[in-house]
């Protein structure tokens, strides 16, 4: 078992009509994190509400220590996903669910990325959301004295991870659990939060106990359009084994 930081992203989706136990249930349109402490912003909480409305007793939706989503109930239940598969894919499932009381997704949600190790914040101590960068204009008066006009600040951060296993960076599949997929689904267009020191185990089916989130963040682009840099780790320049990753970001208002 290792300890890692988890980056949990959000997605804005249209209303989803799910068929649960043969009946239609609507999951409302909105912007949802995969999981959030505030139920109205949590896709997993929205799934629990939909499953309960569809007659699933003791409905539960959680992320396991193996990074996959699990949906469960007190008895067998069925779910048929909307035809566009948006909701199904965000949760990591690959098909409709039938004839069981619990289902674990076949893939990691593209809204979740874990480097398999703790983060290194480069603009603040561990556990802080960042450093305040003040928006100030500095002028020089006629007598040579200086003055500043401060118009607020932005909280900036840069997270780095070194020697990340390449399976969590990018493969030819660009699948859930890979940074390249998380970047496409979240990094270039959505809010996300960082959760520190989560124990994870690919063989574990235990549910995650979530710490307090840091964020929400939005990726801070440089002079280019938002992009990420692929850099093989020192000593592995000629091998596809390990890579270094970094995310520059800033704090943004929370989803309404």
B/e letters for 95-113, b = 16+ CB within 10 Å, e = fewer, are eebeeeeebebebbbbbbb
Residue 55 Rama label (left phi>0; alpha psi -120 to 50; beta): left
Residue-level pLDDT at 77: 98
DSSP state of 166: G
Question: To 5 degrees, how large is the angle CA 171–CA 176–CA 179?
Answer: 60
Q: Given this model, what pLDDT does residue 97 score?
A: 98
For residue 89, give both structure tokens. Answer: 């894919």
Give the model's pLDDT for residue 140.
Answer: 84
Tell me the whole-structure pTM to 2 decimals: 0.93
Residue 147 backbone dihedrals phi, psi, to 5 degrees: -145, 155
Please state, in angstroms and as integers, the Cα–Cα distance from residue 78 to each residue in 53, 91, 104, following that order. 13, 16, 13
Q: Which residues of the chain have pLDDT under 70?
A: 223
pLDDT of 86 reads: 97
DSSP string for residues in 54-70:
TT-TT-EEEEBTTS-EE
Distance from C-alpha of 173 to C-alpha of 219, rounded to nearest angstrom: 24
DSSP run (H or E) holding 47: helix 43-53
pLDDT in tens, 85-116: 999 999 999 999 998 999 999 999 999 999 99
Give the model's pLDDT for residue 148: 80
Say what the pLDDT of residue 232 is: 95
């Amino acid at each position: 078992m290792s300890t890692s930081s988890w980056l949990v992203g959000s997605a804005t989706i249209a209303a989803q009509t799910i068929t649960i136990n043969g009946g239609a249930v609507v999951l409302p349109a909105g912007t949802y994190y995969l999981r959030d402490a505030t139920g109205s912003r949590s896709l997993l909480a929205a799934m629990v509400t939909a499953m309960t409305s569809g007659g699933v007793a003791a409905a539960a939706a959680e992320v396991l220590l193996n990074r996959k989503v699990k949906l469960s109930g007190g008895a067998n239940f069925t779910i048929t996903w909307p035809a566009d598969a948006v909701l199904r894919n965000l949760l990591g499932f690959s098909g409709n669910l039938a004839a069981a009381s619990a289902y674990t997704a076949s893939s990691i949600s593209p809204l979740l990325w874990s480097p398999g190790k703790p983060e290194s914040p480069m603009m603040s101590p561990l556990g802080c959301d960042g450093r305040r960068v003040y928006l100030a204009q500095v002028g020089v008066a006629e007598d040579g004295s200086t003055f500043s006009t401060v118009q607020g600040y932005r909280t900036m951060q840069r997270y780095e991870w070194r020697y990340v296993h390449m399976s969590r960076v990018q493969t030819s599949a660009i699948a859930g659990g890979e940074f390249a997929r998380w970047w496409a689904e979240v990094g270039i267009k959505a809010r996300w939060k960082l959760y520190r020191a989560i124990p994870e185990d690919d063989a574990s089916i235990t549910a995650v106990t979530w710490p307090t989130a840091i964020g929400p963040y939005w990726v801070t682009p440089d002079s280019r359009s938002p992009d990420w840099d692929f850099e093989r780790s020192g000593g592995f320049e000629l091998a596809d084994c390990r890579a270094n990753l970094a995310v520059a970001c800033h704090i943004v208002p929370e989803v309404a």
